Amino acid sequence: MKFEDIEIEEVDFEAMLEESFKKSESKSDLVEGTIVKIDEKDNLAVVDIGGGRDANLNLDEIKDEEGNNLYNVGDTIKVVNQGRGRVSYKAAKAREALNEFIEEYDEEQEYIIEGVVTKKNKGGYVVEVDGLEFFMPRTLSYLSSKIDPIGKKIKAVIVKVDKDKGSVVVSRKELIERDKAKTDEIVGKLLEEKEPVVGTIKKITSYGMFVDVGGIDGLVHYSQISHKGPVNPSKYFEEGDEVNVVALDYDKKKRHLSLSIKDANPDPWEDIDAIIGVGDTVTATVSNIEPYGVFVDLGEDLEAFLHVSEISWDKNVKHPKDYLTNGEEINVEVIEIDKEGRRLRVSLKNLLPKPMDAFTAEHRVGDVVTGTVTSITDFGAFVKVGAVEGLLHNQEVSWDKSKNAKSELNVGDEVEVKIIKIDKDAGKISLSKKALEDSPVKAFAQNHKNGSIVTGTVKDKKDFGVFIQLEDNVDALIRTEDLHPLKFDEIEKGQEIKGVISFIDPNSDRIRVSVKRLERQEEREAMEQLNLDQDDSMTLGDAFGDILKK
């Protein structure tokens, strides 16, 4: 019940109570009667209440739990005359119990009762407590007419007992105003002193905790629990725990007391430099695991974030839960302190041996190793060798340029590769599969050399030249400037072109051919042949001349 819903009426209390008593005397007399008839069919017992008057009693009132009648015709019982020819055995039992309570009532003692509102009348309400009926005037009820109070459980204090009239008056208002006065006193002191006090956790919810301080409950919102930021209270506390709290605010209208645990404890960020520094190694407890990283508790009411990329040197960490568990203690290195954002970042892998160091200690460029394909991309495949990964680029998969990682490999395949480059600083390793095979150019070079005349078929045209295929599926490049006297625009795929080898390198798998050089070479060879022929002719003439002279 909110205080704004309370209605206080100006009513003549004595007159109202007197009227209630009069009604009780006229309609609720306690009398002795004799059962003169039992009618099972109509479920009635007829009772002679004296003065030649008979009244009906509901037979259920004098039956036990098994349905057997407790009284028979001729038995004398006490009943309450309810008027209109009806009497009640249960009401008589309640009246006797009330009279007994009134007789034993001690005026020096305070009685606080807890009962249920069962009836409503003009003057107030009837509150039943263990079969006893007490009267609660409307002005002492603090119950709103907007809400039906029948069936409502209430607490009240006995304020008046009239032994002569057999009536007990209770007040809910008295207890509420006492509670309000007590609350105002406690809250006023808490807000004025602003000092930490010890409270007991009564209830934990998803949005915070209710804490009892001096007999009243206040809410510690989940954002007011820790300097780390909003936290789930159930992960840190249990009902019944004692905590230090400070009062923040009190809403008198709603009677809401706001408390804070974090304000009752020192803020570690005010002196963070003295507590921790970048590069420090600290022991932390895993408090929360998410797919993107792990939150760890550093103590001192500090929390840090361990990103998934800082958990292991393995770049294929799928989920942090595969490496860590909640509650586990780990050593981490502080890598970032953001004072303005009140954020800490830590690394676990920085304290672990670097796989690249171990790899370079055991392997060199030129070594042949076996690895497992972990992933395949458009530019190649990553192969895991031991604890590190190397890149097998498409151009290192095969000497056949039509083949690549996607066409030749699958994730999980074991492959034998050669280490062709190690960049320790960058943590990169380059691998080659084709380096373990003989180059087609190497075989070609055994039978050809610079100056050899060859014929090839045009495979492709680029701005810088034409690629032709020679024998044994070996490709060669004719640069644009080496095409003369052929015209670049007139060359078509599939066309045969004759030229001379101008460059051949088996190690790099490269061959260049020149048409222009072929023309010069053929001219030179023709001239050499002509000179040779001329030399032979002059020698014969000279010989004949010598003979003639002789």
Q: Where among 380, 409, 436 does a domain terminate?
A: 436
- The string of DSSP codes covering 298-342 is EETTEEEEEEGGGT-S-TT---GGGT--TT-EEEEEEEEEETTTT
Whether the CB-CB separation of 396 and 409 falls below 8 Å is answered with no
Same domain, 16 and 161: yes
Pairing, β 167-171 against β 256-260: unpaired
Predicted confidence band of residue 13 (pLDDT cuts 50, 70, 90): very low
Residues 6+ apart with CB under 8 A from 117: 125, 126, 127, 136, 143, 149, 150, 151, 152, 154
CATH number at residue 215: 2.40.50.140
Residue 397: CB atoms within 10 A of its CB come to: 24
Predicted confidence band of residue 8 (pLDDT cuts 50, 70, 90): very low
**Of residues 384, 378, 293, the one with CA closest to residue 343:** 293
Give residue 265's pLDDT. Answer: 87
Conformational region of residue 372, where left means phi above 0, alpha means psi within -120 to 50, and beta covers everything else: beta
**Of residues 443, 438, 503, the one with CA closest to residue 471:** 443
Per the model's pLDDT, the better-predicted residue between 287 and 537 turns out to be 287
Q: Where among 308, 335, 351 does a domain terminate?
A: 351
The tokens describing 374, both together, are 């972990």
Same domain, 96 and 239: no
Residues forming a β-bridge with 384: 372, 389
Question: Mean pLDDT, to the nearest integer, of 26-30?
Answer: 56
- Which contacts of 357-364 are long-range, i.e. CB under 8 A and separated by 24 or more positions? 358/386, 358/387, 359/385, 359/386, 359/387, 359/388, 359/429, 360/422, 360/424, 363/419, 363/422, 364/419, 364/422
Per the model's pLDDT, the better-predicted residue between 20 and 350 turns out to be 350
Mean pLDDT of all residues belonging to the chain: 86
Give residue 187's pLDDT. Answer: 85
Predicted confidence band of residue 27 (pLDDT cuts 50, 70, 90): very low
Give residue 417's pLDDT. Answer: 94
Q: Is pLDDT of 362 > 70?
A: yes
Write the pLDDT tens digit of every residue in 453-480.
Answer: 999 999 999 999 999 999 877 889 999 9
Same domain, 422 and 372: yes
Same domain, 248 and 200: yes
Same domain, 251 and 310: no
Predicted confidence band of residue 115 (pLDDT cuts 50, 70, 90): very high
Please tell me whether the overall predicted TM-score, pTM, comes out greater than 0.75 for this model: no
Q: Is pLDDT of 200 > 90?
A: yes
Whether the CB-CB separation of 13 and 137 falls below 8 Å is answered with yes
The residue with tokens 């009943």 is: 79
Question: Mean pLDDT, to the nearest integer, of 205-220?
Answer: 90
Q: Is pLDDT of 319 > 90?
A: yes
Give residue 180's pLDDT. Answer: 85
Question: Mean pLDDT, to the nearest integer, of 491-519?
Answer: 89
Predicted confidence band of residue 365 (pLDDT cuts 50, 70, 90): very high
Write the pLDDT tens digit of every residue in 244-283.
Answer: 999 889 888 888 888 999 888 888 888 888 889 999 999 9
Is 396 among the domain residues? yes
Give residue 56's pLDDT. Answer: 93
Give residue 541's pLDDT. Answer: 52
Q: What are the C-alpha distances in Å from 266 to residues 133, 279, 300, 302? A: 55, 24, 9, 11
**Of residues 284, 289, 346, 285, the one with CA closest to residue 317:** 289
Is 40 among the domain residues? yes
Is 545 among the domain residues? no
Is 188 among the domain residues? no
Give residue 534's pLDDT. Answer: 62
Write the pLDDT tens digit of every residue in 224-247.
Answer: 998 888 888 988 899 999 999 998
Whole-number percent of the chain with pLDDT over 70: 91
Same domain, 155 and 7: yes
Q: Is pLDDT of 6 > 50?
A: no
Rounded Cα gap, residues 8 and 262, in angstroms: 41
The tokens describing 466, both together, are 């034409």
Predicted confidence band of residue 7 (pLDDT cuts 50, 70, 90): very low
Is 542 among the domain residues? no
Q: Where among 220, 244, 264 does a domain terminate?
A: 264
Rounded Cα gap, residues 342 and 352, in angstroms: 27
Whole-number percent of the chain with pLDDT over 90: 43
Same domain, 81 and 164: yes
Give residue 542's pLDDT. Answer: 54
Query: What range does the domain containing 256 cover?
Result: 194-264
Is 178 among the domain residues? no
Same domain, 49 and 152: yes
Q: Is pLDDT of 171 > 90?
A: yes
Stretch among 7-21, 23-37, 85-99, 244-258 having the lowest mean pLDDT:
7-21
Q: What are the C-alpha distances in Å from 500 to residues 153, 302, 452? A: 110, 75, 6
Predicted confidence band of residue 153 (pLDDT cuts 50, 70, 90): very high
Same domain, 60 and 155: yes
Per the model's pLDDT, the better-predicted residue between 545 and 118 turns out to be 118
Same domain, 251 and 360: no
Q: Quote the radius of gyration of the chain (alpha carbons, Å).
A: 52
- What is the DSSP-derived secondary structure letter of residue 354? P
Count structural domains, the chain.
Answer: 5
Same domain, 339 and 381: no
Write the pLDDT tens digit of every residue in 388-437.
Answer: 899 999 999 988 878 899 999 999 999 999 999 999 888 899 999 988 88
Q: Is pLDDT of 545 > 60?
A: no
Q: Is pLDDT of 17 > 60?
A: no
Is 547 among the domain residues? no
Cβ burial 443-455 (10 Å sphere, 16+ → b, else e):
ebbeebeeeeebe
Q: Is pLDDT of 2 > 80?
A: no
Rounded Cα gap, residues 69 and 61, in angstroms: 9
Same domain, 118 and 141: yes
Is 187 among the domain residues? no
Residues forming a β-bridge with 321: none
The tokens describing 131, both together, are 């079969």
